Structure 1
Amino acid sequence: MAVPAEANTPMLVPHLVVGDAAAALDFYAKAFGAVEMARLPGPEGKIMHAAFQINGAMVFLNDDFPEFCDGRSSTPVALGGSSVTIHLHGPDVEGRFQRALDAGATVVNPLEDQFWGDRYGVLRDPFGHQWSLAETVREVDMNEVVAQMAESGQMS
């Protein structure tokens, strides 16, 4: 049987590893309006693979399987944090931020108007992943952004 062309559509998909994928799927639905696309069960009630969409973008998810990672856990909790922040941009950042807090996220950086023109804040989900949320509230010229960064000492 021939493989349909859409099976190989180019994409870049974040793949999250968590300690409780079923709970994470519930959290992402409540916090970010995630729509579950697939869930493949694995051994001992774990989830081998799940796919969901947020803002039309695909995200993969699975339970932690140290036995497939040189015997080491690869969750942000086990690693002491994550070097990746997942960014959600769009309207009603206040409502989206509060919705995530109500679902169980914690504030890393509160929502504030930023010099680059966004209202921006950062949350940590109950599974250790970091999410930034933003809404553009004013247009800013790139020269103004660079000047603000230089003024604040963020550029040398």
Structure 2
Amino acid sequence: MMDTPFRLPPIVPHLVVNRGGDAIDFYARALGAELMSRLDNGEGLVMNAGLTINGAAVMLNDHFPGMSPPPPQPGHSAVTIHLTVDNADRWFDRAVAAGATPAMPPADMFWGDRYAVVHDPFGHSWAFAHNLHGHQLGHDEINSNFAAFKEGAMQ
């Protein structure tokens, strides 16, 4: 853990979990998370932890009844955290090997990314994507690809 101030960008996901210490360990194995800060309550619960995942900040704490809604059940999160990565297949495989549940195996998508999704054991969903073209596709090309996708012509 670093001993420097953990500076936050303008928007940061803040995950509520059960078993915060286990979640931190899982995110290190599955997503290469680095622990930047951690404050425990003295009773084995994480009051606040700051992580970086692929260069992005993520906050985490254990669920404290009455302070926040309970964490989602695995596969039932209304939010997916999207990570732009160097290789979606490799990130997907590492997360699954660490205990994540595959939700969408890696596939080439009509918008120009290789894309995959997993559900972690703590109720949160993660998407991994890398661009297949070296640039973002324009709206016309995406719309054309989507039309072909709907017709089943996407390879």
Match of 2:37 in 1: 38
Match of 1:20 in 2: 19
The offset of 1:125, in angstroms, is: 0.4
Candidates 66, 70, 73, aligned match of 1:74 = 70
The offset of 1:116, in angstroms, is: 1.0
Task: Tell me the matched-pair count.
Answer: 144
SS in structure 1 at match of 2:118: strand
Match of 2:146 in 1: 149
The offset of 1:83, in angstroms, is: 1.1
The offset of 1:93, in angstroms, is: 1.7
C-alpha spacing 1:58/1:109, structure 2 compared with 1 (3 Å): same
What TM-score, normalized to structure 2?
A: 0.83
What TM-score, normalized to structure 1?
A: 0.83
Q: CA deviation digits over 1:24-69, x for unaligned, max 9?
A: 1001111111110111011521111001001211100000111323
Q: Distance in 2 between matches of 1:28 and 1:35?
A: 8
C-alpha spacing 1:10/1:120, structure 2 compared with 1 (3 Å): closer
The structure 1 segments of at least 4 consecutive aligned residues displaced by more than 4 Å after TM superposition are: 6-10
SS in structure 2 at match of 1:66: coil
Identity %: 45
The offset of 1:147, in angstroms, is: 2.5
Match of 1:99 in 2: 94
Does residue 119 in structure 1 map to residue 114 in structure 2? yes
In terms of fraction of residues, the more helix-rich structure is: 1
Q: CA RMSD for the aligned pairs?
A: 2.3
Which segment drifts farther, 24-33 or 136-145?
Answer: 136-145
Which blocks of at least 5 consecutive residues in structure 1 are unaligned? 1-5
The offset of 1:111, in angstroms, is: 0.5
Q: Distance in 1 between matches of 2:79 and 2:105?
A: 18
